Amino acid sequence: MRTWCVTAVWLLMVAGMSAQQGSGMPDSFYALKTTALSGAPVDLKSYEGKVTLVVNTASQCGFTPQYKGLQALHTELAPKGFSVLGFPSNDFGGQEPGSAQEIKTFCEKNYGVTFPMFSKVVTKAGPDQSPIYTWLGQSGNLPKWNFSKYLIGKNGKILAFFPSNVTPESPELRQAIDKALGTS
């Protein structure tokens, strides 16, 4: 009887580990799918081979002026295979309460944003968390506030995480982007 119990426990443990591995997240950020701010489906595979900077954004935050620097990075580096990807979130202080159209209008009117913006997401861990942030959270880092940044390499792997206070103009961020692009 005891051998049977030990065997049953071992089989359950192995099955649990296999289920975790089997239901595991994709190896690449670019294997994920999401929705554009317009509501259209987006396959992030279209960014494979590029370096991307994934940012959780908000329109009513003290860090909102970072949109200007993010747009400048996007404009300057897009020809070299770089893109900023904006994911609005209302997780922190309710600072992104607007509709998709309100977010789009705000970003374009105030900061001239042309980089891709996606539908509002939940970044915090829990049952409503976006699969994008579930995947990013595997790095051990989830945003603690708006405008946290993940640098994703050409192969879809996370290269670095930068908290909100690291601005788009920050030398450490720029050096990491240049290194990922192979221009440093």
Tokens 């209302």 belong to 90
136/158 Cα distance (integer angstroms):
8
Tokens 């607007």 belong to 98
Annotated catalytic residue 5: no
The sheet with strand 82-88 has its strands ordered as 82-88, 51-57, 149-152, 158-162
Report the 10 Å Cβ neighbour count for 83.
Answer: 18
Half-sphere exposure of 71 (CA within 13 A, CB side): 14
Which residue out of 32, 37, 61, 142 is catalytically annotated?
61
How is residue 140 annotated by DSSP? T
Active site residues: 61
